[in-house]
Amino acid sequence: MTVDPSFTTLGYRRLGDIALQRAADLGVSHADFRFERIRTQNLAVRDGALTGAADAEELGFAVRVVHRGAWGFASSPVLTEAEAARVAEAAVAVAEVAARMTTTPVELAPEPVHDDVSWVSAYQVNPLDVPMAEKVALLIDWTHRLSAHPVVQHATADLMQVQENKYYADLAGTRTTQQRIRLQPRFEAMGTNSDTGAFDSMRSVAPPVGRGWEYLTGTGWDFDRELAEVPDLLAEKLQAPSVDAGHYDLVIHPSNLWLTIHESIGHATELDRALGYEANYAGTSFATYDNLGSLRYGSEVMNVTGDRTIDHGLATIGYDDEGVQTQEWDIVTDGVLVGYQLDRPMAAMKPELNGGRSNGCAYADSPGHVPIQRMANVSLKADPDGPDTSGLISQVERGIYIVGDRSWSIDMQRYNFQFTGQRFYAIRDGELDGQLRDVAYQATTTDFWGSMEAVGGPQTWELGGAFNCGKAQPGQVAAVSHGCPSALFRQVRVLNTADEGGQ
CA-CA distance, 304 to 295, in Å (whole number)? 14
Give the per-residue pLDDT at 196: 83
User: How many beta carbons lie within 10 A of that of residue 6, not counting itself?
Assistant: 10
Question: Using CA atoms, how far apart are residues 215 and 208, in angstroms rounded to an integer?
Answer: 10
Q: Are 492 and 247 in contact (CB under 8 A)?
A: yes
pLDDT at residue 1 in the model: 84
Task: Identify each DSSP E strand in 236-278 by its residue range.
Answer: 246-252
pLDDT-based confidence at residue 44 (cuts at 50, 70, 90): very high
| Mean pLDDT across 299-328 | 98
Residue 503 pLDDT greater than 70, yes or no? no
What pLDDT score does 501 carry?
80
User: How many Å apart are CA 279 and CA 274, to the nearest integer?
Assistant: 9
Each residue of 268-303: pLDDT tens digit? 999 999 999 989 888 999 999 999 999 999 999 999
* CA dist 249 → 401, 422, 425, 431, 495 (Å): 9, 18, 12, 13, 13
Distance of alpha carbon 227 from the chain centroid: 25
Compute CA 330 distance to the chain's CA centroid, rounded to the nearest angstrom: 18
Cβ–Cβ under 8 Å, residues 371 and 363? yes
**Mean pLDDT to the nearest integer, 436-447:** 98
Specify the pLDDT at position 198: 85
Beta bridge partners of 252: 402, 487
**Cα of 174 vs its chain's centroid, Å:** 27
In DSSP terms, 417 is beta-bridged to 410, 443
Model pLDDT, residue 425: 98
Tens of pLDDT, residues 169-205? 999 999 999 999 999 999 999 999 888 888 999 999 9
Contact (Cβ atoms closer than 8 angstroms) between residue 435 and residue 452: no
The rounded mean pLDDT for the chain is 97
Rounded average pLDDT over 55-63: 98
Confidence at residue 289, expressed as pLDDT on a 0 to 100 scale: 98
The 10s digit of each residue's pLDDT in 74-127 is 999 999 999 999 999 999 999 999 999 999 999 999 999 999 999 999 999 999
Q: What is the Cβ-side half-sphere exposure of residue 358, based on CA atoms within 13 angstroms?
A: 31
Distance CA 242, CA 113 (A): 59
Which residue from 443, 476, 448, 483 is spatially nearest to 266, judged by alpha carbons?
483
Distances (CA, A) of 113 to 5, 269, 324: 25, 27, 9
Whether the per-residue pLDDT at 48 is higher than 60: the answer is yes
Strands 462-471 and 476-484: antiparallel
On the question of pLDDT at 151 being above 80, the answer is yes
How many C-beta atoms surround the C-beta of residue 276 within 10 A? 13
Helices first, then strands: H and E counts in the chain = 11, 24
Rounded-to-integer distance, Cα 211 and Cα 120, Å: 11
Strand pairing partners for 337?
A: 332
For residue 169, the model assigns a pLDDT of 98
DSSP codes, 435-449:
EEBSEEEEEEHHHHH
C-alpha closest to that of 274 among 213, 206, 350, 379:
350
Predicted pLDDT at 343: 98
Torsion angle of the four alpha carbons 296, 297, 300, 302, in this order, in degrees rounded to the nearest 10: -160
What confidence score (pLDDT) does residue 190 get?
A: 98
> What pLDDT is stored for residue 258 in this prediction?
98
Burial of 172 (0-12, 13-18, 19+ CB in 10 A): middle
Are 38 and 58 in contact by the 8 Å Cβ rule? The answer is yes
CA 404 – CA 268 distance, rounded (Å): 22
Dist CA 36 CA 364 (whole Å): 10
In sequence order, the β-bridge partners of residue 200 are 191
Q: Are 45 and 156 in contact (CB under 8 A)?
A: yes
Structural domains for the chain:
5-239 (3.30.2290.10), 246-501 (no CATH)
What pLDDT, in 10s, does the model give residues 204-255? 999 999 999 999 999 999 999 999 999 999 999 999 999 999 999 999 999 9
Which residues, other chains included, contact 503 with Cβ-Cβ below 8 Å and sequence gap of 6+?
Answer: none
Q: What per-residue confidence (pLDDT) applies to 280?
A: 87
Distance CA 388, CA 393 (A): 9
Average pLDDT over residues 48-58: 98
Q: Is the pLDDT of residue 460 over 80?
A: yes
How far is it, in rounded angstroms, from Cα 318 to Cα 168? Answer: 12
Alpha carbon 207 to its chain's center: 11
Question: Which DSSP string do the residues of 304-317 spell out, in sequence order?
Answer: EEEES-STT-TT--
Which of 243, 222, 218 is CA-nearest to residue 421? 243
CA separation (Å) from 347 to 229, 366, 404? Answer: 48, 23, 35
Q: Which helix (H) or strand (E) holds 83?
A: helix 81-99
Sign (positive or negative) of CA dihedral 321, 286, 493, 491: positive
Angstrom distance (rounded) from CA 170 to CA 30: 8
* Whole-number pLDDT of residue 245: 98
Instruction: Return the half-sphere exposure (C-beta side, CA atoms, 13 A cut-off) of residue 101.
Output: 6
Q: What pLDDT is recorded for position 224?
A: 97
